[in-house]
Amino acid sequence: MECASFLHPLFPHIFINSSYRFPRCFAVRRGVEIRLFRKRWLNSSCCAVGVSEIGAGNLFDDNSLKGAENGSLLGSLNDESGSAPFGTLDAEITPETIDFFVSDADGDPDCPSKGFDSIKQALNTLRQGKIVIVVDDENEDVEGNLIMAASHATPEQMAFMVKNGSGIVSVGMKEEDLERLKLPLMSPETEDEDSSAPTFTITVDAKTGTSTGVSASDRAKTVLALSSPDSNPNDFRKPGHIFPLKYRNGGVLRRAGHTEASVDLIMLTGLRPVSVLSTVIDPADGSIASLPFLRKLALEHSIPIVSITDLIRYRRKREKLVERTAISRLPTKWGLFQSYCYRSKLDGTEHIAIVKGDIGNGQDVLVRVHSECLTGDIFGSARCDCGNQLDLAMQLIEKAGRGVVVYLRGHEGRGIGLGHKLRAYNLQDQGHDTVQANIELGLAVDAREYGIGAQILRDIGVQTMRLMTNNPAKFIGLKGYGLAVIGRVPVLTPITEENKRYLETKRTKMGHVYGSDLQGPLAGFMKSSVNEKESSEGESNAE
């Protein structure tokens, strides 16, 4: 026997082969045609499978694909000329795509990013009145701030911040404290204001016990006065040498800035929510310190260094970000479902979950977390596969009789918004791929975050799931929220002339996996309770 066959984890009438290459065909079971395409493979762990029974027109069946006007995956694979519909079919697999099922540490909100300390360690350090370095980006384009609790400020700590920082010492404060102390903003906020920019108030010095206000001792006294709940507006001179900053409600979940990160961390310690922060400067040339410089500084002074990204994940795991607002019966063209509406507590965005059947104990639930795509889902855009993926997910869940589709709004264009997406389309028409277009516009390649989707699934009662996705980032993004992804169901839709380059780019540049993951552990792909049984049955049917 050159290879073994295994039953598909969702549909028992489909076999999946575990070898890298396929010199033979599968056995036929229950009248379902399962066809091997000789000497072709989607990637090193996937074969193309023809299915002609379950009523999923978007699967690889002859009727829906072979005669497609713009060509299809099936038609190209059967073409004896040897031409492939696009390069990803024979492309080299990058390391990111080889092992879809990552370790349990990946995606865990309590597990720090590589090269950073944990949020828990930072909190313990801050409680002791010590300094922590907070970094706003884990790449080269980075800014690091020294932060500490304002209520623990000392002249020694202020001197360290001035020596290693920009010389400007800021204090992050909530709006209610700024209003109590009558500290107005330097410039009024407007609707056109850059939400990414820090919001300074007028500068201050403490009146009592200070001289010029510029010394480390004077600055420490001013910081302590700002952190005290007993201070009043008459306790300060204006202007001064300390720069209060307005904290935006919601913290890093609304704005991933240093002001919000510093106040969030202090709040998590249980101390008064007032922070001290100063940007770290490289003394060699006066520029913003690089990540290697920040790491060296942290090592020399035994200072924990954490990322805002990790803080966001830490908070998302622990705080309820959505509330259920409505439930309704929803008849659809696929069948009868229940619809659940959820509202984000952060920005008011409404999301919807479509539920089929009784979730019961929440084990082994078929799940699709779908990002909003107005052009693809509603208008049937041929530029992407989003609408086809949503349609297929609904079909598969209806067929399974139990499952959930979570539809996340605000994810348009992988999080860049509708207008930016249309501008990116214009760049794609000029020759850019989807990744290059986003970069050209100065936007993130993928700005989506799946924590809200995870919280919706938890509220519905899902505990373990088989996730319908080709995107490893979605798999990782749902971990660590009391959910376990026990398997992945590929979402394979037709490849057309319009979307083939888009799919190729997702495959080669974004790590998407088209096909199963059987080169990894089988236990990660199929239900563990039936893994052994299905494996033995599959081998007995292999020809």
* 3-class secondary structure, 365: strand
Alpha carbons 444 and 198: distance in angstroms, whole number: 21
- Whether residue 384 contacts residue 437, with contact meaning beta carbons closer than 8 Å, is answered with no
Angle at 461 between CA 458 and CA 467, to 5 degrees: 70
Angle at 395 between CA 391 and CA 397, to 5 degrees: 120
- Whether residue 225 contacts residue 234, with contact meaning beta carbons closer than 8 Å, is answered with no
For residue 374, give the DSSP letter.
Answer: I
Alpha carbons 19 and 47: distance in angstroms, whole number: 9
Catalytic residues: 446, 448
- Whether residue 359 contacts residue 462, with contact meaning beta carbons closer than 8 Å, is answered with yes
Alpha carbons 139 and 292: distance in angstroms, whole number: 10
Q: Which helix (H) or strand (E) holds 307?
A: strand 305-307
Handedness of CA 122, 127, 299, 293 (dihedral sign): positive
Calculated CA dihedral for residues 456, 461, 463, 467, nearest 10 degrees: -50
* Nearest by Cα to 91 from 23, 41, 39, 35: 41
Alpha carbons 490 and 488: distance in angstroms, whole number: 6
Strand-pairing partners, residue 6, are: 16
